[in-house]
């Protein structure tokens, strides 16, 4: 390999190499030249990279990284920043928000982890999203798409509802969003604090969608303010994306105490601007990202003096208007403890968020479970009782003698979310969720589709992916009037399209003449020697030539680190974006798995000069080289030295 043994010891976030596992690699002369010919010749096969297959929103990640690095050129009159933005937002209309808060399963799946460390995909998305906000880029309708005259009602203005409205508006349908809140955004606004999603960023990304002509009915709850039957009468299709914005209370004795609240109520009150302080001692129960958000917010709010009855957190959360005690009183730090059934190393929250919470003075106790809320004479909780436990045949068994009381002025339950089905009870699957079919359509109701946390509370990007798939189904239903939807591809993604790229590059695709053609073809009705497998095949690292890639340290975004004292009252954004030079350098670390990135290895190493560069006036991304079968002897060297696995030996059976 190109990486030296000394380099390998530097350590970033190694996976395979961390434990010295190198069995999948052999010396080049053991496998590149182990035969002089075969009966197979090279094909150019487009596969899905694991980053895209791991992205719940289905972004064309490899595509926009190749745009940023300069491999794929933008159309005339457009810079790479805008072109990358256009590519990202084919799938996800919130690149700036997702670039900040998405836990990036794409990075865990990145094949670059087998070399040293993953590509900073979120960092690139963050930069491109902010560029679009700063330069006031808007969404553009395709002039070829004509208005359908159909109307779609969308219940819920969170990430799923907004993403569905975006996709449907681009497809020519009229959309109206019904939301019970004052502002759009759902969990992006009411569940995530502003120091993680700056509100001007969120507002800008939402406004682009509304500017497509999407109508809104705010402070309107479907099921009470508006009957569901009225929507069925007045709209051609309905997308249900109410979200799961009700929290789950603790299932232990004493949890009905007024100062024992849910994380959803806590975060909504904070993001509404109503919650001003939390008391001296706060205990949070959870282990996921939401519990970390609650704990860090509680640490920042802290405690204030001169608090009266209405200023208590539980009264604010119940809807009372709080006095602005924070401005007139001395603010002090709150002692915040986060308890989790999982040990700290197995908590679901992002590891870097856990580290920052510890830095900010938040105590984390793992491996314990709540067993009771200790209630005082006034009916308010005074402590949370926890204990160590073990699980035997699915049942929690408390270890005697391990009980301890954690003093608390406020107890926050972050153990899960629930959907409020008031007025929509018929859609409840008796487990507090909605169970759709494989195309996110409600069974037996061909005009009703579902997406987001109402299916199962998960990531924001998962909700965006649901919306994209559901919007495709709604479009087919509205335009074709069919209740039968085709089977979804194995890889749900907005994939690179070579044919579209060739047309964009000014190349003409001729109509097929229905004549059989042998050998190297100069016909223009198809792409010679090319197969698109990206809808069904994810290329693994062992099909790449990893020896091509040098050790390159990842360009990491700076994070503002705060001490316990510095965190108090600090609501500034902590995550800094990369600059343009760093973003381009990071994109260049992408290995373009499954798609040619024009390295010339196949041309240089072909002993028969059978592999050749396509003429410049006939090139497009993904169509850089071709093979002359009159010269090819099937030695497979081109496939062996292809870094991206784009060349596969498959012709000539």
- Per-residue pLDDT of 132-155, as tens digits, reads 999 999 999 988 899 999 999 999
Rg, Å, the chain Cα set: 28
The count of structural domains within the chain is 3
pLDDT at residue 135 in the model: 97
pLDDT of residue 515: 74
Encoding tokens for residue 614? 């396509």
Give the least confident one: 281-295, 314-328, 461-475. Answer: 314-328
* pLDDT band for position 517 (cuts 50, 70, 90): low
Of 298 and 137, which is predicted with more confidence? 137
Q: Return the sign of the alpha-carbon dihedral for residues 627, 629, 632, 633.
A: positive
Count of beta carbons in the 10 Å neighbourhood of residue 425: 8
Same domain, 517 and 476: no
pLDDT confidence of 311, banded at 50, 70, 90?
A: low
Q: Is residue 143 part of a domain?
A: no
3-state SS assignment for residue 620: strand
Tell me the pLDDT band of 327, cut-offs 50, 70 and 90.
very low
**Model pLDDT, residue 319:** 45
Q: Taking 60 as the threshold, does the pLDDT of residue 305 lie above it? A: no
Q: Is the pLDDT of residue 128 over 50?
A: yes
CB contact at 8 A, 331 and 321: no
Q: Is 565 exposed, middle or buried (0-12, 13-18, 19+ CB in 10 A)?
A: exposed
Identify whether residues 51 and 97 lie together within a single domain: yes
Distance of CA 251 to the CA centre of its chain: 31
Per-residue model confidence (pLDDT) at position 34: 46
Average pLDDT, stretch 593-613? 95
Buried b (16+ CB within 10 A) or exposed e, 87-98: bbbbbbbbbbbb
The 10 Å CB-count burial string (b at 16+, else e) for 32-71 is beeeeeeebbbbbbbbbbbbbbbbbbbbbbbbbbbbbbeb
Domain boundary among 416, 433, 452: 416
pLDDT of 307 > 80? The answer is no
Same domain, 240 and 264: no
Contact present, 107 and 51 (Cβ < 8 Å): yes
Helices (H), 235-364: 263-271, 289-301, 313-317, 325-328, 351-359
**Residue 399 and residue 422: Cα distance in Å, rounded?**
40
Cβ-based neighbours of 40, under 8 Å, separated by 6 or more? 634, 636, 649, 650, 651, 652, 653
Q: How far, in Å, CA of 74 to CA of 343, rounded?
A: 48
> Is residue 517 a part of any domain in this protein?
yes
Using the predicted structure, report yes or no on whether residue 358 has a pLDDT greater than 50: yes
CB 584 within 8 A of CB 65: no
Q: Are residues 269 and 232 in the same domain?
A: no
In which band, very low, low, confident or very high, does the pLDDT at 528 lie, cut at 50, 70 and 90? confident
CA proximity to 472, closest of 128, 480, 255: 480
Instruction: Calculate the average pLDDT of the chain.
Output: 87
Q: Is the pLDDT of residue 331 over 60?
A: no
What is d(CA 33, CA 640) in angstroms, rounded to the nearest whole number? 9
**Comparing 5-19, 137-151, 217-231, 476-490, which segment has the lowest mean pLDDT?**
5-19
Q: What is the mean pLDDT of residues 268-296?
A: 87
The verdict on 299 and 382 lying in the same domain is yes
Rounded to 5 degrees, what angle do the CA atoms 128, 132, 135 make? 130
Mean pLDDT of 588-602: 96
Which residue bears the tokens 């992916």?
465
- Give which of 241, 53, 52, 163 is closest to 472, Cα–Cα: 163
Instruction: Give the number of residues written for the chain.
Output: 653
Residues 108 and 160 placed together within one structural domain of the fold: no
Residues 396, 360 share a domain = yes
Q: What is the mean pLDDT of residues 246-259?
A: 91
* Residue 277 Cα distances to 265, 297, 330, 530, angstroms: 14, 10, 11, 62
Answer yes or no: is 24 within a domain: yes
* Shared domain check, 608 and 509: yes
Residue 486 has pLDDT above 50, yes or no: yes
Residue 512 has pLDDT above 80, yes or no: no
At 105, list the tokens: 């399963």
**Poorest-confidence range of 79-83, 136-140, 481-485, 512-516?**
512-516
Return the H-helix or E-strand segment holding 407: strand 404-407
Quote the pLDDT of residue 563: 86
Distance CA 472, CA 347 (A): 36
The answer to whether 114 and 543 are in contact (CB under 8 A) is no
> pLDDT at position 315, please?
56
Distance (Å) of CA 115 to CA 183, 452, 550: 45, 35, 8
What interhelical angle do 121-134 and 580-588 show, nearest 10?
A: 140
**C-beta of residue 356 within 8 angstroms of C-beta of residue 350:** no
DSSP H/E element including 177: strand 174-179
pLDDT at 395: 92
Of 456, 480, 504, the one marking the end of a domain is 480
Q: Is residue 485 part of a domain?
A: no
For 278, the 3-state DSSP assignment is coil
Q: What is the CATH number of the domain that holds 334?
A: 3.50.50.60
- pLDDT: which is higher, 207 or 279: 207
Report the pLDDT value the prediction gives residue 39, as an integer from 0 to 100: 64
Q: Residue range 79-100: average pLDDT?
A: 97
Q: What is the mean pLDDT of residues 67-96?
A: 96
Domain match, 390 and 251 both: yes
Among 22-36, 393-407, 462-476, 610-624, the range scoring the smallest mean pLDDT is 22-36
Give the position of tokens 């085709």: 486
Whether residues 436 and 553 share a domain: the answer is no
> Would you tell me the crossing angle of helices 289-301 and 351-359 to the nearest 10 degrees?
20
- pLDDT > 80? residue 312: no
Query: Are 188 and 126 part of one and the same domain?
Result: no
Asked whether residue 486 is domain-assigned, the answer is no
Residue 457 domain-assigned (yes or no): yes
How far apart CA 652 and CA 41 sit, in angstroms, is 6
Can you read off the two tokens belonging to residue 149? Answer: 């005259």
State how beta strands 363-366 and 368-375 pair. Answer: unpaired
Residue 400: the pLDDT is 93
Rounded-to-10 torsion of CA 351, 85, 503, 473: 70
Instruction: Give the pLDDT mean for 266-275.
Output: 84
Q: How much of the chain exceeds pLDDT 70, in percent?
A: 88
Q: Domain containing 376: what range? A: 247-416
Tell me the three state secondary structure of residue 297: helix
Q: Is residue 355 part of a domain?
A: yes
Q: How far apart are CA 639 and CA 643, in angstroms?
A: 9
Both 512 and 441 in one domain: the answer is no
Count CA within 13 A, CB hemisphere, residue 376: 12
pLDDT-derived band at 36 (thresholds 50, 70, 90) equals low
Asked whether residue 195 is assigned to any structural domain, the reply reads yes
Specify which of 102-116, 489-503, 517-531 reaches the highest per-range mean pLDDT.
Answer: 102-116
Please state the rounded mean pLDDT for residues 107-111: 94
Distance of CA 146 to the CA centre of its chain: 31
pLDDT at 616 exceeding the cut of 50: yes
Of 416, 431, 456, at which residue does a domain stop?
A: 416
Q: Report phi then psi at 384, rounded to 5.
A: -110, 125
């Amino acid at each position: 390999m190109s990486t030296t043994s000394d380099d390998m010891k530097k350590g970033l976030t190694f996976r395979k190499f961390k434990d010295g596992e190198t069995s999948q690699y052999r010396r080049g002369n053991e496998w590149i030249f182990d035969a002089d010919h075969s009966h197979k010749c090279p094909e150019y096969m487009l596969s899905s990279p694991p980053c895209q297959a791991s992205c719940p929103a289905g972004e064309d990640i490899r595509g926009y990284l190749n745009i940023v690095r300069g491999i794929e050129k933008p159309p005339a009159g457009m810079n790479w920043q805008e072109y990358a933005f256009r590519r990202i937002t084919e799938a996800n209309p919130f690149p700036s928000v997702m670039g900040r808060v998405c836990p990036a399963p794409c990075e865990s799946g990145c094949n670059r982890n087998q070399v040293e460390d993953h590509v900073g995909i979120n960092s690139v998305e963050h930069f491109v999203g902010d560029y679009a906000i700063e330069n006031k880029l808007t969404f553009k309708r395709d002039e070829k798409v004509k208005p359908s005259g159909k109307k779609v009602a969308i219940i819920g203005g969170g990430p799923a509802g907004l993403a569905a409205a975006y996709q449907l508006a681009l497809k020519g349908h009229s959309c109206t969003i019904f939301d019970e809140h004052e502002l759009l955004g759902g969990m992006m606004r009411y569940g995530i604090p502003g120091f993680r999603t700056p509100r001007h960023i969120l507002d800008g990304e939402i406004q682009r969608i509304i500017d497509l002509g999407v109508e809104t009915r705010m402070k309107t709850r479907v099921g009470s303010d508006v009957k569901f039957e009225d929507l069925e009468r007045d709209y051609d299709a309905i997308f249900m994306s109410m979200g799961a914005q009700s929290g789950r209370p603790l299932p232990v004795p004493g949890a009905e105490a007024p100062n024992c609240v849910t994380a959803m109520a806590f975060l909504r009150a904070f993001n509404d601007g109503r919650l001003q302080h939390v008391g001296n001692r706060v205990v949070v129960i959870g282990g996921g990202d939401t519990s970390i958000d609650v704990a860090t917010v509680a640490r920042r709010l802290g405690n204030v003096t001169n608090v009266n009855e209405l200023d208590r957190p539980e009264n604010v959360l119940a809807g009372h208007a709080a006095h602005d005690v924070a401005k007139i009183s001395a603010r002090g730090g709150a002692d915040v403890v986060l308890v989790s059934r999982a040990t700290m190393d197995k908590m679901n929250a992002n590891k870097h968020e856990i580290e920052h919470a510890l830095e900010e003075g938040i105590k984390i106790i793992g491996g314990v479970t709540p067993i009771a809320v200790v209630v005082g004479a006034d009916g308010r909780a005074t402590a949370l009782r926890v204990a160590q436990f073990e699980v035997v045949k699915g049942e929690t068994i408390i270890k005697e003698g391990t009980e301890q009381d954690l003093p608390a002025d406020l107890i926050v339950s972050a153990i899960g979310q629930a959907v409020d089905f008031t007025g929509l009870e018929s859609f409840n699957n008796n487990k507090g969720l909605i169970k759709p079919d494989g195309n996110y359509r409600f069974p037996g109701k061909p005009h009703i589709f579902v997406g987001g946390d109402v299916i199962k509370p998960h990531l924001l990007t998962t909700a965006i992916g649901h919306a994209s798939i559901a919007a495709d189904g709604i479009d087919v239903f509205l335009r074709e009037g069919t209740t039968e939807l085709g089977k979804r591809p194995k890889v749900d993604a907005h994939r690179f399209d070579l044919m579209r790229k060739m047309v964009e590059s000014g190349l003409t695709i001729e109509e097929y003449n229905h004549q059989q053609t042998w050998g190297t073809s100069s016909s223009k009705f198809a792409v010679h020697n090319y197969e698109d497998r990206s809808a069904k095949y994810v290329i693994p690292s062992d099909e790449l030539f990893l020896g091509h890639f040098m050790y390159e340290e990842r360009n990491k975004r700076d994070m503002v680190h705060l001490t316990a004292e510095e965190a108090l009252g600090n609501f500034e954004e902590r995550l800094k974006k990369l600059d343009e030079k760093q973003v381009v350098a990071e994109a260049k670390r992408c290995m373009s798995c499954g798609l040619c990135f024009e390295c010339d290895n196949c041309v240089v190493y072909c002993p028969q000069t059978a592999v050749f560069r396509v003429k410049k006036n006939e090139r497009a991304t993904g169509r850089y080289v071709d093979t002359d079968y009159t010269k090819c002897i099937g030695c497979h060297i081109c496939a062996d030295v292809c870094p991206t696995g784009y060349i596969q030996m498959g012709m000539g059976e």
